[in-house]
Amino acid sequence: MTKMFRAAVASALYLALMATIYALHATYFAVDVVLYSALLDVVLATVVATVLLTALTFFRIFSGFEKFQLTIIWILLGYAAAISGPTIIDRSLSFYILEKLEQRGGGIQLARFEDVFTKEFVKEYRVIDARLTEQMASGTVVIVDGCVRLTPRGERIASFSRWFRQTLLPRKRLLRGQYSDDLVEPFRRSASYVDYGC
């Protein structure tokens, strides 16, 4: 059997391990943040698969460097799967739109979409609770005396995000049939005075 075939078998084993570990974790264990949980599953699957790659005689055809390469490929594959699978489905407004359209019989009046987001999405997906939990787990915000505040780490990430948005995001982005730079500087339409600061 060729190395390519055995590498494919090893990678299929890795994917099966990753899917199994993820399913067990999601079904039977508490999860604080979906992304971090999925990444932990990737690490566990990579460790188990690497041990099997080293221990099983079927894979002795690989040199140490080739085993190292397979491990790196698995980490990258697992990372892509963790981001593109559970994390996207958990967080995606795009998936919510599709699921909500399906729930409502396949169609919703365009003029009522703002109501769907403000009255249903935020409540049904517990968006505020979920995102604040993620930010606290990431160490970017703290809640002190009923006030959500940025940590120094949060300030650095927010500054980088704002810089990236203003500098490197597309300036001609299609938004419902028109190209716009509205999302490069979304706060330019924000109210100048608000009463919810602390």
- Specify the 3-state DSSP secondary structure of 149: strand
Task: Answer for the pair 95, 89: CB distance below 8 angstroms, yes or no.
Answer: yes
Q: Is residue 74 part of a domain?
A: yes
Structural domains counted in the chain? 2
Half-sphere exposure of 136 (CA within 13 A, CB side): 12
Check whether residue 77 and residue 129 sit in a common domain: no
- Specify the 3-state DSSP secondary structure of 180: strand
Distance (Å, whole) CA 90 – CA 34: 7
Q: Is residue 48 part of a domain?
A: yes
Q: Is residue 131 part of a domain?
A: yes
Check whether residue 74 and residue 16 sit in a common domain: yes
Whether pLDDT at 1 is above 80: no
Check whether residue 19 and residue 84 sit in a common domain: yes
| pLDDT, average across residues 4-18 | 95
Q: Is residue 194 part of a domain?
A: no
Report pTM: 0.77
Whether pLDDT at 62 is above 90: yes
Task: Answer for the pair 86, 36: CB distance below 8 angstroms, yes or no.
Answer: no
Domain membership of residue 12 as a residue range: 3-91
The 10s digit of each residue's pLDDT in 78-108 is 999 999 999 898 888 898 999 999 999 999 9
Q: Chain-wide mean pLDDT for the chain? A: 92
| pLDDT, average across residues 152-166 | 94
Check whether residue 17 and residue 84 sit in a common domain: yes
| Domain end (from 61, 91, 121) | 91
Whether pLDDT at 71 is above 80: yes
Q: Which of 164, 15, 13 is nearest to 82 (CA)?
A: 15
CA angle centred on 14, ends 10 and 18, rounded to 5°? 170
Q: Which of 47, 28, 49, 26 is nearest to 37 (CA)?
A: 26
| Domain end (from 91, 120, 154) | 91
Residue indicated by tokens 């799967």 = 81
Q: Is residue 128 part of a domain?
A: yes
Check whether residue 46 and residue 122 sit in a common domain: no
Q: Is residue 191 part of a domain?
A: no
Q: Is residue 96 part of a domain?
A: no
